[in-house]
Every structure is written in structure tokens, then in C-alpha cells.
Amino acid sequence: MITFNRVVLLVGLVSITACGGGGGGGGDSYTAPVAPTNNAPMITNSTSNYSVVENQTSAFTITATDADGDTLTYSIGGTDASLFSVSSSGVVTFNTAPDYENPSDADANNVYDLMASVSDGSLSDSKDFMVTVTNDTSDDVTTEGYDGTYLGAGPIQGATVCIEVTAGTCAGAQYTATTTTDGSFSITVDSGVTGVLRGEGGFDPVTNLQLSSNSSFALGQPVTDQNFVVTPLSTIMNEFNSSDYETFKTKLGLDSNYMIRYNNPFTGLDTASLNKAAVVNTQILVMHEVINAIHTFSGDSAANKIASAIYNRSGNETSLGDTTFMKDMLTNLDSDFSPTSDQLVDLSAGISAFMQKINANSSDSHAHFAKAGVSELKDLMVSVMNDTSSNTEIDKLVFNTINWINENTSWDGGSISDNEEDINTTTYSLSNNGSTNYIVDNVNTRDTEFIIYVREGDTIKFEATSSVTSAHPFLMSTEANDMDSSNDIGAMEGWNKDSLTLTVNSNTPDTIYPHCQFHNGMYANSKIVKVAQFDQNLIDVDSSSSALQVKGTVASGPFKGASGYTYKVYLTSQGGSEHTHTFHEYPGLTFYMPGGQGYHGAESVSSDQKFKPKSHYVAGSDDSNDSY
């Protein structure tokens, strides 16, 4: 329309000029009109940086003016242009509402770069813009921490710990951490994430024992509000799907105040309750590895079987080194596990003997016991199942466990303290009747030929009343009534006159005569006799015909290796349904146990009279101090 008007006007001007040219009198001048110009549009936004909160599509509006009032069109370009749209009125929006936690801009920094353009059809203007997406805290995921310590027979370093995704493994787990030298770890998880906390692999920094991925410990109820421990004990409870902590503590003889999920027993070994818990965890670790080695489970796991055996055990016995417990667990291990009777005896005796010696102290003995257990003990038990084991080696493990460890394992833990050393110690009461005679276990040793029989390796201790030690010093001699003490024995022969203890060794005389230093004849008709074996005919079987308890190790039969107190046994046959027992500490003697009575290798004493290899028993003798 504008172009057409210009043509008409020009034609009109030409016509007028032509007409005026012939008038001869016109002298007016003429100025040609200027053609109108097109002005470019202009973007007028006062800022190029916009900030918007996540989870909404609005970004900003492009504002522009055009001096000519032309119709304007808008477009966007730039690095992140594909994520936006612009309307005909210049409103810029996100195609998808942005997520602050998961930015989609090219730099992934929540700053989106754009170039906006406006055009009037022929001319245009452009400007760079930045849209910064900010966080909407209302949708933030809060996090929590699982902080704990991963323990076997002490801290385990370099293990992977995780919140399980797949049961029994850390494979595919989203939340993981690696344990430090002291076994500690921390896993940050989204609030509300729960599940079994599991660890795999790692090594014992004391012995460098490498744990395979199959050596996996777990805790079924991790918490975020306090530090916890993952241990062999928590593992078997998890496999057993149990949170009955009180029952497990009772069955294992743990202190009722000990917290299975929270207390690190290895940080307080000088405390009896923690020391006991440390031993239990090391025993479970070794037991689990050995059982896994001698049998392949197709259903329940070894951990489940151990937990079940502990939880369902009857009676008051709590030791994991108890041969009865071990035998029963192996007997009911699995329907596919069917060792011969001889194999079952060797397995139960060998494993329980090793369990009995495990102790925990500041020299990290527990770590060394674990290493010997999961290597050499495991190998020997596998050889039992393969019928390649040596009877000699099995007997050495069962009856001389510490020697077996020192000679047949990679033990590097220094001298082993024997927590069963008192099993060879027998205590005799010692009092006196003025200066007339000594009384030992209620026997008048002046008037009665009272004989105590001992073997090399035995220890006998006299528990004396104060009057004995003050007025009647108790000495030992190779001569009866040695009033000048010319033949008295001392430390070389195993006698300690201060503690009144005789430790029988190779230098101990075959016959020893106790005597008073000041008064003649107080032990006149009695003596101590050293023997290689005990003679049943020389032991008092008449006065001791009632039930006895024997402190020692069962030497043969289905309960071979049962160490501790065995009761109810007799020195004479009781007739009927009974079986015999021999004990490693008392070769040459046979004991009789009626069927269905008693216990083999209990930790604690019973009410029965304690057996002692002596020539006379007197009813009512006080044996209360004889324990181990």
C-alpha cells in the first residue's frame, strides 16, 4: 500500500510540472520528499541473568520494542536452546521442568545458556541470557550415616561393607564403604534406606590372614543413631533370622549387659564380660570356616546351623568347646552330611579341643588362633572326611592341643597361655591336729597309710589352714620324718614350699615324704608316689563307691576329647546299662557311667565328689577349692 501511494504522488507531480512549463510566468521552486526508513526491533530486558526454582517450567520473558510498530517474532538459540521453547509473545519456558539434583544443561551446573532473538521480518536483534536453576529444599533427600566396626577375631581391614541389594553379597549394592585399619567404616545413605549390612573380604592386620568373599559377616539390624559392630556372632543371628539377643547371650554364657550389636569386645579384653565375648566371636569364626570346609550346603548355611545349635541347646552348658554340643551339632548338620562313627568322633573331638584352647589377650592371641583354625585345623578336619588323616596327629590335637598348634601350624603368636592348665591340678585340704598329725582330705596321715599318686605333668596343691603355715611348716623330703631336712626337695624337683604346690617333673623323686619342720611323725605313715600309670587296685574303690566327677579329658569313645568335669561316673561297675570311660589324665583307670546319666566335659562342677588318685576317701571331705 505504501509503494502504490508513492507512485501516484510521483505521477501527479510530473503532470503538474509539465503543465506549468507552458505557462511562461511560473517561477516557484520544488523539493523532493524523503522515503520513510525501517527501524530494527530492540530487546529491552533489563537483565540477562535469571534465576528460577527447580520443578517449574517458567524461565523468563523476552521484552522488545519496534519504533515502527511492526509485528515481532521471537526465537532462541545457543548451547542449551533445545531444552527451551518460546511463544509468539516472547515467553521462554523449559520443555521439561528442571531438576536441581539432576541438571540437564551442557555443563551440568544448573546454569542454562541461551541466545534470544527478535525480528520485524527484515531486521532483528539478539542478546545472550543465562537461566540459573536453584534448589527447592522441599524435595531434598536427607541422608543418614551407618557408622560401625567390622570384626572377625579382631578388626578386619580392607573389607567392603554395604547395604545388601542381593542377599548374601555386596554385588550391585549402591551404598558401600571400605574398612580402615581398626575395622571402622561409615556409609552415607538416603534417609529411610534400611536393610542387612554385610561385609566381604579384607584381612586381619595382625596376622595378614586374607578373608575370601565367602568369609562374609553381616548385621541384620544396623542403626543410624549410634555406632555398631558387625561380628561373627551377629552374622549367625542374621542367618538364623533372629533378634532374640537375650536368649543367645544366655546360651553362650555372655554377660546380660553385653550388647551384641554395639559393644566391641576386642577393645576391653581386661574386662571379663568383653573377654568372653571376644573368645566367642573367634570361636564362631573358626567353627564356621571349618564346617563350611567339611560340607557343602545345598539348603541352610553353616551359619544358620551353628546358630540353631546354640539357640536350641538344652541344659546349662554354654561353652562352644563342649564336645557334647559339637557332636550334637555335627550329627544334625545336614541330611546329606553322613560321616562314619569314627569320623564323627575325630571331628567333634578335634574341633572342640581347638575351641577349648582359644583365648583372647592383649597379645592378640585371638587373631593367631583364628589364623591357625581357618587354615591348619580346617585342613586336618577335611582330611578326616577324606580318610587321609593320621590318628597320631588327631590324638595330638585332642590331648596336646598347644603342642599341636606350635608344631603343626603357622603359629606366630608367641607363647600360648593354656586356659585349661588347671585341669592337671588337684587340690588337697591340709590341716593339723596340734603337733600330733597332719590331716589331708580328712585323713589322719600319722595313723593311716595315706598315699597320693601322681604322674609327671601333674600338679598337686595343698590348701592349708593358717595354723599349719604358722606353726607347722610343711616340707617335702626323700626321707621319712626328715627332721634335719637333709633330704628336702625344692624348686628343681618341682616343690614350692611357699605356695605348697608340687609340680611333678622329670626330677621329681619317685617317692616323697611330707613332714613338719618342727614336729616328728606328723605325716609318718603317708607319702606321695610318682607312677607312670595308675593301678585300679591301689585306688580306694570301697569308700568312693558313690557317684564321682572326674576332672580330665575323655580318652576314647563317642565323647572322646570331652574336657572338664565328667559325671556321674563310678570306680566300680554298677551293673545294668552302663558304659566305660577312660581319661587321658588317668591311664590305667576305668570309670563306669550308667546309661542316661551324667555329662561329659562340663565347664562347672557338679555336686558329686571329685575323683582324686589316692588310697583313701573319707566321707565329708571338703573339696570345694578344687576347681578350674
Residue 169 lies in a domain: yes
Whose cell is 555372655? That residue is 254
* Axis crossing angle, helix 323-331 with helix 341-357, rounded to the nearest 10: 140
Residue 495 lies in a domain: yes
Whose cell is 592371641? That residue is 365
Give the model's pLDDT for residue 143: 62
Higher pLDDT: 405 or 4? It is 405
Instruction: Write the CB contacts of 15 (distance below 8 Å, at least 6 apart in sequence).
Output: none
pLDDT at 469 over 90: no
Q: What is the pLDDT of residues 290-332, one digit of tens each?
A: 999 999 998 789 999 999 999 999 999 999 999 999 999 999 9
Q: What is the pLDDT of residues 564-594, one digit of tens each?
A: 999 999 999 988 788 999 999 999 999 999 8
Q: How far apart are CA 601 and CA 320, in angstroms?
A: 12
Q: Please say whether the dihedral angle defined by the alpha carbons of residues 157, 199, 184 and 142, taken in this order, is positive or negative.
A: positive
Mean pLDDT on 337-355: 97
Residues 524 and 444 in one domain: yes
Q: How far apart are CA 398 and CA 388, in angstroms?
A: 17
Residue 53 lies in a domain: yes
Average pLDDT along the chain: 91
With a pLDDT cut of 70, the percent of the chain lying above it is: 93
Give the model's pLDDT for residue 131: 97
Residues 296 and 384 in one domain: yes
pLDDT at 16 over 50: no
Q: Which of 311, 273, 306, 295 is nearest to 344 (CA)?
A: 295
pLDDT band per the 50, 70, 90 thresholds, residue 12: very low
Q: Please say whether the dihedral angle defined by the alpha carbons of residues 47, 49, 51 and 57, taken in this order, is positive or negative.
A: positive
Query: Read out DSSP for 400-429?
Result: SHHHHHHHHS---S-SPP-TTGGGGEEEEE
Residues 462 and 408 in one domain: no
Mean pLDDT on 380-385: 98
Q: Are the CB atoms for 599 and 323 separated by under 8 Å?
A: no
Residues 127 and 170 in one domain: no
Per mean pLDDT, which range of 423-437, 442-456, 566-580 is the poorest? 566-580
Structural domains of the chain, count: 5
Q: What is the pLDDT of residues 384-393, one digit of tens each?
A: 999 999 999 9
Residues 275 and 397 in one domain: yes
Give the model's pLDDT for residue 31: 67
Between the ranges 12-21, 138-147, 262-271, where is the mean pLDDT highest? 262-271
pLDDT at 372 over 50: yes
List the domain range (segments joined by +) for residue 469. 421-530
Residues 308 and 377 in one domain: yes
pLDDT at 412 over 50: yes
Give the model's pLDDT for residue 619: 67
Mean pLDDT on 359-387: 96
pLDDT at 3 over 50: no
Q: What is the pLDDT of residues 281-292, one digit of tens each?
A: 999 999 999 999
Q: What CATH number does residue 84 fall under?
A: 2.60.40.60
Mean pLDDT on 468-483: 93
Q: Are the CB atoms for 148 and 229 separated by under 8 Å?
A: yes
Residue 236 lies in a domain: no
Residue 237 lies in a domain: no
Residues 200 and 270 in one domain: no
Q: Is the peptide bond before 530 cis (omega within 30 degrees of 0)?
A: no
Residue 31 lies in a domain: no
Using the 3D structure, point to which of 391, 414, 437 is the last residue of a domain. 414
Residue 9 lies in a domain: no
Give the model's pLDDT for residue 70: 93
Using the 3D structure, point to which of 373, 390, 414 is the last residue of a domain. 414
Q: Are the CB atoms for 530 and 505 separated by under 8 Å?
A: no
Q: What is the pLDDT of residues 325-344, one digit of tens each?
A: 999 999 999 889 999 999 99
Residues 363 and 486 in one domain: no
Residues 69 and 208 in one domain: no
Q: HEC string of 332-344?
A: CCCCCCCCCHHHH
Residue 538 lies in a domain: no
Residues 194 and 301 in one domain: no
Give the model's pLDDT for residue 160: 96
> What's the one-letter identity of residue 350?
G
Residues 440 and 399 in one domain: no
Q: What CATH number does residue 200 fall under?
A: 2.60.40
Using the 3D structure, point to which of 485, 507, 530 is the last residue of a domain. 530
pLDDT at 621 over 90: no
Mean pLDDT on 408-435: 93
Residues 410 and 516 in one domain: no
Question: How many residues belong to the chain?
Answer: 628
